[in-house]
Amino acid sequence: MESKKYSLFTKITISFISLLVSLLCLEGGLRLAGLYVYSSQERNFVPYEEPKDYVRNRVYEKYKLGKSSGVIVAIGDSFTNAGNVKSYYSYPYFLFKLFEESSQPKSVINMGLCEDSTIRIYDRLVEFFKITPKEELKNLDKIIMLVGSADKFERYENYESDRFQTIFYDMENPTFFKELRIYKVFRHIKLVLLNKYLTEGLETGEDSFDDVNKLYSELAVKYEIGSTERPENFKELLKKMPDSFKDYSERLHLTLSTPIQLIHSLSVYQSKILTSEKKHDEAVFWLLDTALRFPVEFFNGEMDDAYYRLVQTYQIQSRYESSDIKDLLDKIISKSPEVEKFINFKEFKEMTLKWEEVDKNIQEERNKSWDKIVKLVKDNKVELVLMNYPTEYVSANETLKRVAKENQLVFIDNFEYFKPLIEKYGRSKILEDDDHFTPFGYELLAKHIFSKINQK
């Protein structure tokens, strides 16, 4: 009996040792293969290690190679930052991968910040050239820029803010286990499959507007000022919310801890659905509905995301005139007089009631900023590449094209490039809303940029 137990233990031990030796051999083989292929291209950026609480709008991400033929800076607003997805689905990272696989690999820095403006980008570039060591600036090859859609927010921007608190960030080195080539093979297969699913424009189970609007309307009636309806248990409310809505809220860091936050997130989500279907008039209607029902929260900063969507969508819609907005704002003041002291309310009121005057003033400031940006980049002997929006930001797009032409800069026409692609795949496959691509859209953008800047 003892000999049988000993024999079984021996077999298990031998099997374990054999497995361990096999894994060590496999690991060694993979390391040798990796050394051969990547001996001159060791990466120190690990985007797939992003923690859940990592907010990408607070850092400049550096996608680096140990040896590269140059550095590209991608600077702009939401389309560059890509805060609606993980970093490995942003266009700067896709661009980095395309260069990495080419004969002339380059490092890429993502300096996109959501809601950034032409005016603030000039300031950020000044700071960038000031703090970057001269030796590193010698490797700076190009600055690719897309900005202008959020310029109207600058009228009430606090210029003494902590805008330069944003830091350059390299992801932490992976743990010992995650450094194993066996793990990397597994992770690569997983990412390839996930990437195929997300970047081929497949359906991801998005909810219909009618379903989301029903949830929003039921909640809004129960929680708006003066409501006599009895709200149900909040935990039960959350259970009713579709998973795709919760996932979207998490990606945009929208909090779902209170009924008002839930209504806010639903308002943003249904506007996202409508704008992805190019129904901007309806999107403005429902955002204004939120503003009318919850004026204090909408304009005091608690519903900043919905407010931002309203301003951006209003620029594209065609239903509402200044007189319509004035009537609505009068109702809001009558309902909640305290809104008149909020900066967002003052901004929206001036922006909509004095649209032509505001637009003229913003264009003047925008032109001054572009003159300074072009000179700054030229003085630092770096190539400036401009591109326009794939969405209908007419004023910003016209300015970008004009500045590129007047200064003989490379211009990448995203608006015309994406027109047939949107017709082919559908708008919602490429654009999540007017200010963000889907992963598929970001990949297409990177390929378009890569193609254009390599035509020389």
Beta carbons of 105 and 139 less than 8 angstroms apart: no
Cα–Cα distance measured from residue 394 to residue 388, given in angstroms and rounded to the nearest whole number: 10
Hey, is 231 helix, strand or coil? Answer: coil
Q: Which comes out higher in pLDDT, residue 394 or 200?
A: 394
Confirm whether pTM is higher than 0.85.
Answer: no
- Residue 342 or 231, more confident: 342
Percent of the chain at pLDDT > 90 equals 49
pLDDT of residue 227: 61
Which of 296-300, 353-357, 420-424 is predicted with the least confidence, judged by mean pLDDT? 353-357
CB 20 within 8 A of CB 46: no
pLDDT tens per residue, range 241-267: 988 899 889 888 898 999 999 999 999
Ramachandran quadrant class, 408 (left: phi over 0; alpha: psi -120 to 50; beta: rest): left
Residue 111 is classified by DSSP as E
pLDDT value for 167: 53
Residue 268: which H helix or E strand, with range? helix 259-276
With beta carbons less than 8 A apart as the criterion, state whether 395 and 363 touch: yes
pLDDT confidence bin for 204, thresholds 50/70/90: very low
Q: What confidence score (pLDDT) does residue 233 get?
A: 76
Q: What's the confidence (pLDDT) of residue 39?
A: 33
* CA-wise closest residue to 325 among 394, 272, 268, 315: 315
Q: Each residue of 395-429: b (16+ CB within 10 Å) or e?
A: bbbebbbebbeebebbbbbbbebbeebbeebebbb
Burial of 371 (0-12, 13-18, 19+ CB in 10 A): middle
Q: How confident is the model at residue 50 (pLDDT cuts 50, 70, 90)?
A: low
- Between these two residues, 101 and 182, which has the higher pLDDT value? 101
Q: Apex CA 410: angle with CA 312 and CA 407, to 5°?
A: 90
Residue 239: name the closest of 222, 223, 256 by CA.
256
Give 76's contacts (C-beta < 8 A, 6+ positions apart).
111, 112, 116, 121, 145, 146, 147
How is residue 455 annotated by DSSP? -
- 3-class secondary structure, 277: coil
Q: Which of 13-22, 47-56, 377-386 has the highest mean pLDDT?
A: 377-386
Count of CA atoms in the C-beta half-sphere (13 A) of 444? 23
pLDDT at residue 445 above 90? yes
Q: What is the DSSP string of 136-203?
A: HHTTEEEEEEE--TTGGGGGG--TTS-GGG-EEEPPPPPPHHHHSHHHHHHHHHHHHHHHHHHHTT--
Least confident of 13-27, 214-228, 378-392, 406-420: 13-27
In order of 108, 194, 256, the CA distances from 188 in angstroms are: 21, 10, 33
pLDDT digits (tens, 9 = 90+) for 9-28: 676 777 767 777 776 666 56
Q: Give me the chain's average pLDDT, please.
A: 82
